[in-house]
Amino acid sequence: MEFGRAPDQFIPVDFEIENGVVKDAAPAAAPAPHETVAQARERIVRGFTDAALAGRRVLVPDHQLMNAGLGIYDDDRVQAIRETVRAFRHEVHRLEKVAAKAKSIKELEAIRPSFPTAIVTPKPNSAGKAK
């Protein structure tokens, strides 16, 4: 039996003891390949979609969407929920278009979303109109 001390507070799964010191015997992880612009675009757009859904859930939780769909709320509240969801969708579509035009990862990472921060109140003449 050999004894060794570990420089860290853990013992690696595969290890060797050299001169009383525990050394990691697992091969070093290969560096991650560089991300292409297409991969970065996909990652950024997915992040925008996730952020939009999270932001929408804060303003309009899923149960309110279901209640609006079931007709539990009055027309003004339903219209406000529709306009809020529509605003998030429009912003995601705008971000997707901007991301599609970006030619570098730096340009992609510079894109900033502008999601609604409060319930969108419907415009007086927009009730019932589909966009």
63-73: pLDDT as tens digits: 999 999 999 99
- Rounded to two decimals, what is the model's pTM? 0.68
* C-alpha–C-alpha distance, residues 38 and 20, integer Å: 48
CB 41 within 8 A of CB 73: no
What is the phi/psi pair of residue 31, to 5°?
A: -60, 145
What integer pLDDT is reported at residue 18 of this predicted model? 81
Mean pLDDT of the chain, nearest integer: 86
Q: Is 9 helix (H, G, I), strand (E, B) or coil?
A: coil
Answer with the residue of higher pLDDT: 36 or 123: 36
Q: How confident is the model at residue 131 (pLDDT cuts 50, 70, 90)?
A: very low
